A and B are shown apart, each in its own frame.
Chain A
Amino acid sequence: MSKGMSFFSRDRAALLLPIILVLCLTSRSNILPVADAIWLTIPSSGTKCVSEEIQNNVVVLAEYYVIDENNPDHIPTISARVTSPFGNNLHHNENATNGQFAFTTGESGNYLACFWKDGSHQQEAELTLGLDWKIGIAAKDWESVAKKEKIEGVELVLRRLQGTVEAIHGNLNYLKDREAEMREVSERTNARVAWFSIMSLGVCITVSVVQLWYLKRYFLKKKLI
């Protein structure tokens, strides 16, 4: 009895799993909207930019696609550009309905991704763009880790949780360093305010003394006093 049931469940699992995986991975179709992407609206004229402040040596993985349910045959195209905080062009794409880019950050700062409509579609209404932006631990390829270390199921899930915990620890250290930097700037500004205010009083007194001395000398010269 149990053997018969287990055979049935194995067939069902064998059927179910590929379907689930296919649905998960076909992010460009509208069968299963990908829940880990946000949608943005691109205005008819002008660009829509999103940015994130990312630290050094972090993996960034992103994918974008135009969503248009009205006319699936003639999907409007967009152009995209991703710039680093120093102004380098990391990704540039024109006349595309979808695209993806991946890079490791070389410097810490504000990374900007801008999207705009192509010239031929300027008059139409706003279009919707799906953006799937992952950095750091979220961008890690767990399938390759599972294959390399031959782990699966609950062990893989727990390994992912361990990765998340390590990322939390790293983030906490980063926040601590940032707070230390900011505290230094605050204390320096505090010292400067005190110093500059006292100096302002000194400058005021000096300037008035110089004034009086000069005027006295001038009037003595002119024989008025």
Chain B
Amino acid sequence: MEKRWGKMWTLMGLLLLNWVSNASSLSVTVNDVECVYEYVLYEGDTVSGNYVVVDHDIFWSSDHPGIDFTVTSPGGNIVHNLKGTSGDKFEFKAPRNGMYKFCFHNPYSTPETVSFYIHVGHIPTEHDLAKDEHLDPINVKIAELREALESVTAEQKYLKARDARHRHTNESTRKRVIGYTVGEYILLALVSALQVIYIRRLFSKSVAYNRV
């Protein structure tokens, strides 16, 4: 009875500790370089996440080369590098524990809004199981289940960010269609009115007998 109580409390305590590996999804406006730091508790943890450039406010879409994404380990080496994309998913195994730096670099002067999500997931390994005899193999299964659900949540956040970007493009298209078409009609009417006025002037009495 006491053994079960002790086991349960240790289990709960350790699971509470395991549960702090999480992050939230935020958007940040990148003018030149924006860096976000995240702490990885254990070596070998899987760091996963995604980012999407949401506010693509460029006139011609072929101009902008995209955002560069770099992950730097606490030792200074670059762990992950993605160049010139408008959004992607990433996943890597942390080579050591410590503070990791996730940087977005905008090569152009127009500010871009990047929505990102970073998650650090820890699954107890055989080594952790061997170290503490009160750590049940069920912990490993529960941690795996939790990580699988986290990956579904991460995918949903990615889809939501991509949907937001698509919505911006749609809104921009709608505004452009209405704006440019009405502008086109007005311009057409104006140009033809100017044409008529010009022709009238050519035939006006003060000028006509000298020119036409």
Q: Which residues of A contact B (CB under 8 A)?
A: 2, 5-7, 9-10, 12-14, 16-17, 20-21, 23-24, 33-41, 49-53, 110, 128, 132-135, 138, 152-154, 156-158, 160-161, 164-165, 167-168, 171-172, 174-175, 178-179, 182, 185-186, 188-189, 192-193, 196, 199-200, 203-204, 207-208, 210-211, 214-215, 218-219, 222, 224
Contact = CB atoms under 8 A, between A and B. Distances in A.
A112 B98 CA distance: 29
Contact of B36 (A17, A21, A38, A193): A38
Given A175-B160, A175-B163, 18 more contacts: A6-B2, A13-B9, A13-B134, A17-B12, A39-B36, A39-B99, A50-B26, A50-B27, A51-B26, A52-B26, A52-B27, A110-B27, A157-B12, A157-B142, A165-B149, A185-B170, A189-B174, A196-B177
Given A6-B3, A10-B5, A38-B38, A50 B118 contact: no
Contacts, number: 190
B6 A13 contact: yes
Contacts of B159: 175
Contacts of B118: 38
Contacts of A134: 24
Contacts of A138: 22, 24
Interface in B1-60: 2-3, 5-17, 19-29, 35-41
Interface of B is mostly: helix
Contacts of A51: 26-28, 113
B171 interface: yes
A132 B26 CA distance: 11
8 contacts: A13-B10, A21-B13, A153-B9, A154-B8, A158-B142, A182-B163, A207-B192, A210-B192
Nearest to A208: B192
Contact of A53 (B20, B27, B166): B27
Interface of B: 2-3, 5-17, 19-29, 35-41, 99, 113, 115, 118, 120, 134, 138, 142, 145-146, 149-150, 152-153, 156, 159-160, 163-164, 166-167, 170-171, 173-174, 177-178, 181, 184-185, 188-189, 192, 195-196, 199-200, 203
**Residue from the set A13, A34, A193 with the largest chain B CB neighbour count within 10 Å:** A13
A24 B15 contact: no
B97 to A, nearest CB: 10
Contacts of B17: 20, 23-24
B36 A175 contact: no
A177 to B, nearest CB: 11
B8 to A, nearest CB: 4
A24 B11 contact: no
A193 B188 CA distance: 18
B22 A34 contact: no
B1 to A, nearest CB: 9
Contacts of A175: 156, 159-160, 163
Given A38-B23, A138-B22, A185-B171, A168 B149 contact: yes
B109 to A, nearest CB: 16
Given A10-B5, A185-B171, A207-B189, A35 B41 contact: yes
